[in-house]
Structure 1
Amino acid sequence: MRILHTSDWHVGKVLKGRSRVEEHIAVLAQVVEIARAEQPDLVIVAGDLYDTAAPSADATRVVTRALTALQRTGAQVVAIGGNHDNGPALDALRPWAEAAGVTLRGAVRDTPAEHVLTGTTRGGERWRLVALPFLSQRYAVRATEMYDLTAAEATQTYADHIARLIAKLSEDFTEPGVVNLLTAHLTVIGAAAGGGEREAHTVMGYAVPASVFPGSAHYVALGHLHRAQAVNGPCPVRYSGSPLAVDFGEEDNLPSVTIVDVTAEQSARIREVRIDRAVGLRTVRGTLAQLAELDPGEALLRVFVREAPRAGLREEVQELLPHALEVRIDPDMIPVPGSGTATAQRAGRSPRELFRDYLDTRGHAEDGVRELFDELYDEVSSAQ
């Protein structure tokens, strides 16, 4: 059978105030084109369909249309909830999904069979898929209790709970003649983060060893980390990565989807298919003169400007580089407080004097800034 594995769409993402909905439409259209060309039997979307737990109407339209278009390629489509998704809200879409021929699993439910999916390919190959949405620490404890496993001990780790859940859900992976698959949204120890995930859910407390996956699995399709990569484990384990760079921390990632060919008797053969429809992200550094020489094309920019801080500098940079979404002073250009003029003492100093000393320590020398402060101070003083 053939599998198309994708994850971490993050539809609804706004980058420094810029909506990326048009990019998402283009990127997901390319994913659908790849599905038409590759003709997978199964499409797995391993979580984080949305960027927020309260997606906009536009984001919902983009996701539901993409899932429907993937199903219309002839593939069976399974999508799970990630940490950015609202699991119960995804489950509320299940009546629509079932009518559209799409399988959604937003949150862990109290029946193990809900998360063990089975099917048969057009060629007659049988498959079984364990679909495990993202679980926070407290819900991992509740899930193990729901499945009548050993009572959760207070000292047990998140990895313990996940391992027990997966062991319970994959009990039937020993059946011969079936392709055994697992999809989950989590962090595996040793994998490269990729730059765009919320650190609260990628710290070690939420990480699990690859040993939680059963050796009898033919392929494990993971979501959560945005860099496409294989993970060493007892079976083939892989992150497909995000199909576009979600933020500037991911500008060096190579967005792709993963194609997997596997049978019950043969090892998985894995390859990447690149996604190139999104606008590029790029970080640039330099003085105004150096920035003026750049030709970044249509790339969205994060700029570290090597000039002393002053009023209007951001506007000057954005005039040179209209696609600059973020402008920062290069850290090397920011004076260290106390390295030059001594830090002003507050006692006996007027607000005007303190503000001028602050500007001096930060490298601001323009009289215009001081005059604006004087005007503001006079207005506030008069009002009082």
Structure 2
Amino acid sequence: MRILHTSDWHVGKVLKGQSRAADHISALNALVEVAKAEQPDLVIVAGDLYDTASPTADSTRIVTRGLSALRRTGAEVVVIGGNHDNGPALDALRPWADAAGITVRGAVGRPEEHLVTGTTKGGEEWRLVALPFVSQRYALRASEMFDLSAAEAVQSYASAIGQLISVLAKGFGDGTVNLVTGHLTVIGATMGGGEREAHTIMGYAVPAGVFPSSAHYVALGHLHRAQAVNGPCPIRYSGSPLPIDFGEEENLSTACVVDVTATTAARAREIPLPVATPLRTVRGTLAQLSTLDTGDAWLRVYVQEPPRAGLREEVQELLPKALEVRIDPKLLPDPKAADSSSGARAGRSPGELFADYLGQRGHADEATVSLFHRLHDEVVSS
């Protein structure tokens, strides 16, 4: 059978105030074209369809149309919730999804709901453990729902996740293609650069050994960089179909196509996806920035000029697509090296303290100090 593995769409992402809706539509259209060309039997979307737990109507429209278009290619489509998704809200879409022939598992529910089965047009049977993101807070509660003993339901996130997968994998067959999908951080994998740190730290990481050797392929979401992970079976992150933040500008946007049978090893191919509006980081003085041809890219700019009032506006006049403007860190003094005595407050005015702060930050600009005095006077006199 052939599988198209994708994840981490993050539809609804706003980058420094700029909507990425057009980029997401373009990325999902490209993904559908891959599905048309490759004709997978199964499409797995491994979580984080949305960037927020409260998606807008437009974001919901983009996601549902994307899923419907994937289904119309003839593939079965299975979707799980990620840490950015609202699991119960995704599950509320299940009546629509069921009618469209799309399987959605937004949050952990009854055990029997998380072993999805099917048969390809060629007659191959497959079984898929579909485990949505499980927060540390609910890991033990989810374990109890699977009738684990007190000894099995240990107070460890990794152990709890391992037990959940172990229980579900008991439904694997000897002559079936056995698959797992989850939204997890696996120890040894590399972060993509734009993930939410609170859900990728070691307290949320699991060893690759939580996946059974009987699995033919494990399709993961959560980390945005496409990569394989060493383990007892083939384990991969598909990567995001477009860079989510500037920390991911060097990542290759991909989907993953996997060919596997019940008796042969999984063979995975990364399929590059075009990015409508790339992200790019540039550095230089105003004179140097004025000579750059940055095309249609959204920009993060590190300015190699002393800080001063109005500098951001000058940069954005030169580079209208600059979403983030910062002073190059190399030009800023180390705050730890500042003389601690300069922070004494007794007998000093707010304006003097503010001027000292600016000096410590390498921002000795009279225009900024004057603006502070004006704002301070307005607040005090109001």
The 1:104/1:343 distance shift into structure 2, 3 A limit, reads: same
State the distance in 2 between where 1:381 and 1:215 align: 69
Residue 369 of structure 2: SS of its match in structure 1? helix
SS at match of 2:143: helix
Checking the alignment, whether the CA contact within 8 Å between 1:130 and 1:182 is kept in structure 2 is yes
Name the residue aligned to 2:57: 57
TM-score (norm 2): 0.95
State the 1:42 CA deviation.
Answer: 0.4
Partners of 2:4 and 2:43 within 8 A in 1: yes
1:362-377 superposed matches below 5 A: 362-377=361-376
8 Å CA contact 1:144, 1:152 repeated in 2: no
Aligned to 2:191: 193
**Partner of 1:74 in structure 2?**
74
2-structure distance, mates of 1:351, 1:147: 60
One-letter code of the match for 1:346? R
Q: How does 1:274-285 map to 2 (within 5 A)?
A: 274-285=272-283
**Partner-residue secondary structure (3-state), 1:78:** strand
Tell me the residue number matched to 2:149.
150
Cα 1:365–1:115 change in 2 (3 A) is closer
1:289-308 deviations in Å (ceiling 9; x for gaps): 22122111111111111111
CA distance in 2 between counterparts of 1:28 and 1:190 reads: 29
Cα distance in 2, alignment partners of residues 166 and 37 from structure 1: 33
Task: Report the 3-state secondary structure (helix = DSSP H, G, I; strand = E; otherwise coil) of the residue aligned with 1:61.
Answer: helix
**Matched letter for residue 102 of structure 2:** V
Distance in 2 separating the partners of 1:185 and 1:265: 26
1:270 to 260, 268, 271: 268
Which SS does the other structure have where 1:138 is aligned?
helix
Q: 1:354 to 1:159 in 2, by over 3 A?
A: closer
Measured at CA, do residues 381 and 194 of structure 1 come closer, stay the same or move farther in structure 2, by a change above 3 Å? closer
Given that 1:30 and 1:277 are in contact with CA atoms closer than 8 Å, whether structure 2 keeps it comes out as no
Query: Structure 1 residue 154: deviation in Å?
Result: 8.2
Q: Is the 8 A contact 1:9 1:242 kept in 2?
A: yes
RMSD (Å), alpha carbons: 1.8
Residues 1:101 and 2:101 are matched in the alignment: yes
- Asked whether the equivalents of residues 218 and 235 of structure 1 are also in contact (C-alpha less than 8 Å), the reply is yes
Whole-Å separation in 2 of the counterparts to 1:202 and 1:375: 44
Deviations 1:310-334 (A, max 9, x none): 0001011111111110001112212
Size of the alignment, in residue pairs?
A: 381
What per-residue deviation string (whole Å, max 9, x for no partner) do you get for residues 59-92 of structure 1? 0000000111100000000000000000000001
1:105/1:152 Cα in 2 relative to 1: closer, same or farther (>3 Å)? farther
Q: State the one-letter code of the partner of 2:238.
A: S
Alignment check: 8 A CA contact 1:194 1:227 kept: yes
**Residue aligning to 2:354:** 355
Q: Deviations over 1:251-294 (max 9, x none)?
A: 11101000011111111111011111331111111111221221
Q: How far apart, in 1, do the equivalents of 2:121 and 2:18 lie?
A: 43
Matching residue's letter, 1:185: H
The reply on whether 1:140 has 2:139 as its aligned counterpart is yes
Change (3 A) 1:307 1:40: same
Is 2:154–2:160's contact at 8 Å kept on the other side of the alignment? no
Q: Distance in 2 between matches of 1:123 and 1:104?
A: 24
Partner of 1:22: 22
Q: Match of 1:228?
A: 226
- Find out whether 1:291 has 2:289 as its counterpart: yes
State the percentage of identical aligned residues.
71
For residues 305 and 152 of structure 1, do their structure 2 counterparts lie closer, same or farther at Cα, with a shift above 3 Å needed? farther
The Cα shift of 1:344 comes to 5.5
Aligned to 2:211: 213
Name 2:242's counterpart in structure 1: 244
Query: For the residues of structure 2 that align with 1:358 and 1:142, how far apart are their CA atoms?
Result: 49
Instruction: Spell out the pairing of 1:83-94 with structure 2 (5 A cutoff).
Output: 83-94=83-94
**Maintained 8 Å contact 2:53/2:84:** yes
How many Å separate the matches in 1 of 2:310 and 2:259?
56
**Contact in 1 for aligned 2:6/2:45 (Cα 8 Å):** yes
Report the more deviating stretch, 244-253 or 270-279: 270-279
CA contact (8 A) 2:286 2:315 kept: yes
Q: 1:13 maps to what in 2?
A: 13
What are the superposed Cα offsets for residues 107-130 of structure 1, whole Å, 9 maximum, x if unpaired? 111x21100111110111111111
Change (3 A) 1:298 1:152: farther
Q: Which deviates more, 149-158 or 277-286?
A: 149-158
Residues 356 and 232 of structure 1: is their aligned pair in 2 closer, same or farther, counting only changes over 3 Å? closer
Other structure's SS at 2:99 match: helix
Equivalent pair of 1:145/1:152 in contact (CA under 8 Å): no
Q: Is the 8 A contact 2:152 2:163 kept in 1?
A: no
CA distance in 2 between partners of 1:153 and 1:167 (Å) = 11
Distance 2:201 2:357 in 1: 37
Deviation at 1:348, TM superposition (A): 2.3
1:182 aligns to what? 180
One-letter amino acid of the structure 2 residue matched with residue 84 of structure 1: H
SS of 1:3's equivalent in the other structure is strand
**DSSP-derived class of the 1:230 partner:** strand
The letter of the residue matching 1:96 is W
